[in-house]
Amino acid sequence: MRCPFCGYKEDKVVDSRATQEESAIRRRRECLKCGKRFTTYEYIEEVSLMVIKKDGRREPFDRKKILSGIMKACEKRPISVEKLEEIVTQVERAIQKKSDREVPTSRIGELVVEKLRALDHVAYVRFASVYRQFKDIGQFMEELKGILGKEKQRRR
């Protein structure tokens, strides 16, 4: 493992534990040169999934892309990176359980939308507006009205 701060190749594991869903092992490491600490995750290598893009192209599943999109939607929101990683893991597991070796981007997007809707309404609307490609403010307002209606029902 290369230190992300100084590039040195040797470190020691300070702490090691399973993630909440036990789908990965989280390791805290300390660089033997600069002494800074960093976190790594180890995942079980699953059968490789292929993602079918809207234009029909296929590419390997990349959890980093999902995490990147979620992080953009959650920017300046009070949500920890660990929670975002957990969402990505949940989405990845759901895809692996339900699909063959190929999954359309629409399925991935819907899973992320579901998770964000339950987590944070602002992040949900941000992600949904890009994912669902709202054409105008009317579509955006319809989505907001749906959220507000559900929120009023929940309070009753």
- Residue pair 88/19 in contact by the 8 Å Cβ criterion: no
- Give the pTM: 0.63
User: What is the pLDDT at residue 73?
Assistant: 93
Q: What is the pLDDT of residues 64-78, one digit of tens each?
A: 999 999 999 999 999
User: CA 76 → CA 58, 103, 140, distances in Å?
Assistant: 33, 31, 20
The more confidently predicted of residues 57 and 93 is 57
| Mean pLDDT, residues 17-43 taken together | 91
User: What is the pLDDT at residue 47?
Assistant: 63
Q: What single-letter amino acid sits at 31?
A: C
Judged on CB neighbours under 10 Å (0-12, 13-18, 19+), 73 is buried
Confidence check: pLDDT of 149 > 80 = no
Q: What is the pLDDT of residues 104-141, one digit of tens each?
A: 998 999 999 999 989 998 898 888 877 777 777 777 77
Confidence check: pLDDT of 147 > 80 = no
**Among 28-37, 89-98, 125-134, the range of highest mean pLDDT:** 28-37
**How many percent of the chain have pLDDT more than 90?**
56
- Residue pair 128/106 in contact by the 8 Å Cβ criterion: no
- Residue pair 155/147 in contact by the 8 Å Cβ criterion: no
- CA-to-CA distance for 82 and 35, rounded, in angstroms? 23
User: What is the pLDDT at residue 125?
Assistant: 86
Confidence category of residue 60, pLDDT binned at 50, 70, 90 = very high
Mean pLDDT of the chain: 87
Where does 3-104 have alpha helices with state H?
63-73, 81-98
